[in-house]
Amino acid sequence: MKMRNIAIIAHVDHGKTTLVDELLKQSGSFRDNQRTTERMMDSNDLEKERGITILAKATSIEWKGVRVNIVDTPGHADFGGEVERILSMVDGAIVLVDSSEGPMPQTKFVVGKALKVGLRPIVAINKIDRPDGRHEEVINEVFDLFANLDATDEQLDFPILYGSGRDGWMNVNPEGPKDQGLAPLLDLVLKHVPEPSVGEEDGAFRMIGTLLEANPFLGRIITGRIHSGSIKPNQAVKVLSQDGKTVETGRISKILAFRGIERTPIEEAHAGDIVAIAGLSKGTVADTFCDPSVTEALHAQPIDPPTVTMSFLVNDSPLAGTEGDKVTSRVIRDRLFKEAEGNVALKIEESDGKDSFFVSGRGELQLAVLIETMRREGFELAVSRPRVVMHKAEDGTLMEPIEEVVIDVDEEHSGVVVQKMSERKAEMAELRPSGGSRVRLVFFAPTRGLIGYQSELLTDTRGTAIMNRLFHDYQPYKGEIGGRTNGVLLSNQAGEAVAYAMFNLEDRGPMIIEPGEKVYAGMIIGIHSRDNDLEVNVLKGKQLTNIRSAGKDEAVRLTPPIRMTLDRALSWIQDDELMEVTPKNIRLRKTYLDANDRKRFGKAKIA
């Protein structure tokens, strides 16, 4: 069967996964009475909860006798490593752009990678029915973006379609007709995207591993595109690393092809096919899976370096081991290294003491998703505040990562956003209207200044601002940036928090715990209204004597506490604090729980 391999790439929330849903439905991948859900490709629990795509996934449909393999990609820059890898599997790309927002930072990032590997994209203007849509301006912005990214003349001559992925139609005219559904898009894919370029149809089998997953029945499953030759079950293969060394040899136990959202075992796969293979235990992403006669590894696309790092430590709090069953450094180490195998954008290093690990990634969101996944698996651990990865230039200058930040905000709030960003050493590059009474602000800001800014931005703009970030480059260190202005309230002993004590402490600042919660000395229970830390007694109960005041007793009415979510807590804690993560709770604490230790190490730091 003839074949086409395409990726759908776009900024977050521009409708990639919804479009894939409609393509599957309209191509006849489901029975008429088959039950389907929204965003079928987002199979992971966290993806469904957050409404974002985290892992790249492959599917395939049949259209007019041609098999079209489609790869759905993440839209967040934090998961850009997924996108960089899959571009080597495809021969074309559909660039989806929102008719109102236009090309955003992630669009720029992904399109730049796609143009570099020589893909000729199809541009689809999505959400054409938005009342604030401006498709003509958006087309000009897309053309300017392609030109700025050094696109060739062939790449600049891109075909354009308009439509709505949610309503299931695309057409060369913004007005329709809509009754053809997505047929114009699929026809254009067959016409515009070249057939897979294969090395040698009858040569030796070679394939680069692109996606990795663990299956409880089949073991390790590697997905990739066959570069040359063909493969059958039980065929002997070997795995070569990027430097040409043999990692392992073995036999293929199963070959799985993507058919709709199902994976079907097949008896033979040929050059150009995107398939998943099982049966090997060590081969990983970017390795070459090949015939035993092959001696040279295929070249894999280089991946951008991580920009943010965090420490993952063994939980040593007094409540350690009471809620999770995976608490030792050995099981945490095994889990982290297993994650790094499949996620090439992550880098794991062990500390000298072997009890903590430095985990580096693209951003806080990527690391927050890893922590959330681990706590759901039963892990208990402590994590530090994210820190940026600095570099030294050849002349000894300290270099730090700079991000391009695009903020869409109502005009009335633009002043406070500019002020807060300038305090974070950001430089404004652009200010322009973006439809309605909103403006688009573009800044170049140090990554360390943006840690924790998302929640502050939403507070300042009453929840109306949308911020998007993208790694720009490394620039000389910008100097000190002010941190959190408030101190914290610390418990001075262990026990269960009492409502009466919390009521009397409300003047000191808002609480972050509920009455009845277990606390221990050194645990953060609230936010101090001043800039210093204060130890308080949150266990003090009411004196139950028979002596009463003249006035009748009042019922204790507490102000609802500020609940710290995982993402918020990560960005809120300071360098001398940790977040304790268990399957049931997220607690904040000082690194040194004993007050004397805190004083001693605080003085040593100042000295």
Q: How many beta carbons lie within 10 A of that of residue 329, not counting itself?
A: 18
Question: Comparing C-alpha atoms, which of 102, 15, 3 is closest to residue 52?
Answer: 15
Which of the four pLDDT bands, split at 50, 70 and 90, describes residue 26?
Answer: confident
Say if CB 557 and CB 565 are below 8 A apart.
Answer: no
Decide: 385 and 310 in contact? Cβ < 8 Å.
yes
Phi, psi of 471 (to 5 degrees): -60, 130
- Burial zone of 299 (CB within 10 Å; 0-12 exposed, 13-18 middle, 19+ buried): exposed
State mean pLDDT over 188-194.
89
pLDDT band (50, 70, 90) for residue 208: confident
HEC string of 504-533 equals: HCHHHCCECCCCCCEECCCEEEEECCCCCC
Q: Is position 108 annotated in a ligand binding site? A: no
CATH number for region 488-581+588-606: 2.40.50.250
pLDDT score, position 607: 43
CATH code that applies to domain 2-192: 3.40.50.300
pLDDT, position 519: 93
Residue 128 assigned as binding residue: yes
Is 512 annotated in a binding site? The answer is no
171 a known binding residue? no
Beta bridge partners of 466: 408
Tokens of 437: 């009474």
At 125, list the tokens. Answer: 């203007």
| pLDDT (0 to 100) of residue 524 | 93
Q: Read off the pTM.
A: 0.78
Q: Tokens standing for 97?
A: 């752009």
214 contacts: CB under 8 Å, gap ≥ 6: 220, 221, 338
E strand or H helix at 265: strand 262-265
- Secondary structure of 296-336 in HEC code, one letter for each residue: CCCCCCCCCCCCEEEEEECCCCCCCCCCCCECCHHHHHHHH
User: What is the model's pLDDT at position 229?
Assistant: 86
Residue 537: closest CA among 478, 496, 486, 485: 496
Q: pLDDT above 90 covers what percent of the chain?
A: 15
Q: Which residue has the higher pLDDT, 602 or 144?
A: 144
Q: Give 33-50 pLDDT, tens digit per residue.
A: 454 444 445 555 665 666
* Contact assessment for residue 404 and residue 470, using Cβ atoms and an 8 Å cutoff: yes
pLDDT at 279: 86
The answer to whether residue 198 scores a pLDDT higher than 70 is no
| 113 labeled binding residue | no
The average pLDDT across 47-64 equals: 71
User: What is the tens place of the pLDDT at every residue in 301-335?
Assistant: 767 778 889 999 999 899 988 888 888 889 999 99
Q: State mean pLDDT over 527-536.
A: 90
- Model pLDDT, residue 566: 85
Judge whether 18 is annotated as a binding position: yes
Handedness of CA 291, 296, 301, 302 (dihedral sign): positive
Is the pLDDT at 261 greater than 80? The verdict is no
| Residue 160, burial from CB neighbour count under 10 angstroms (0-12, 13-18, 19+) | middle
What three-state secondary structure class fits 386?
Answer: coil
> What's the whole-number mean pLDDT along residues 422-450?
87
- Identify the pLDDT of residue 51: 61
To the question of domain 206-290 being in CATH 2.40.30.10, the answer is yes
What is d(CA 419, CA 453) in angstroms, rounded to the nearest whole number?
13
Q: Is 84 exposed, middle or buried (0-12, 13-18, 19+ CB in 10 A)?
A: buried
Band of the pLDDT at 490, cuts 50, 70, 90?
very high
Does the annotation place 44 within a ligand binding site? no
Instruction: Write the pLDDT tens digit of every residue in 149-179.
Output: 888 888 888 899 998 888 888 888 888 788 8
Nearest residue to 273 via CA among 73, 9, 67: 67
Structure tokens at 590: 């000082």
**Do 169 and 182 contact (CB within 8 A), yes or no?**
yes
415 annotated among ligand-binding-site residues: no
Residue with token string 């290093």: 349
Positions of E strands within 391-505 = 391-392, 398-410, 427-433, 438-446, 466-476, 488-491, 495-496
Q: Are 52 and 74 in contact (CB under 8 A)?
A: yes
pLDDT grade, residue 116 (50/70/90)? confident
In our burial notation (b when 16+ CB lie closer than 10 A, e otherwise), range 561-575 reads: beebebbbbbbbbee
Q: Does 17 belong to an annotated binding site?
A: yes
392-476: CATH number: 3.30.70.240
Question: Is 309 labelled a binding residue?
Answer: no
- Where exactly are the structural domains of the chain? 2-192, 206-290, 392-476, 488-581+588-606
Q: What is the DSSP letter of 379?
A: B
Report the chain's mean pLDDT, rounded to a whole number: 83
CA distances in angstroms from 213 to 55, 218, 219, 281, 343, listed in the order given: 10, 10, 8, 11, 10
Predicted confidence (pLDDT) per residue in 120-145, tens digit: 899 999 888 888 888 888 899 899 98
pLDDT of residue 598: 85
pLDDT of residue 606: 47
| Structural tokens at position 138 | 């958006």
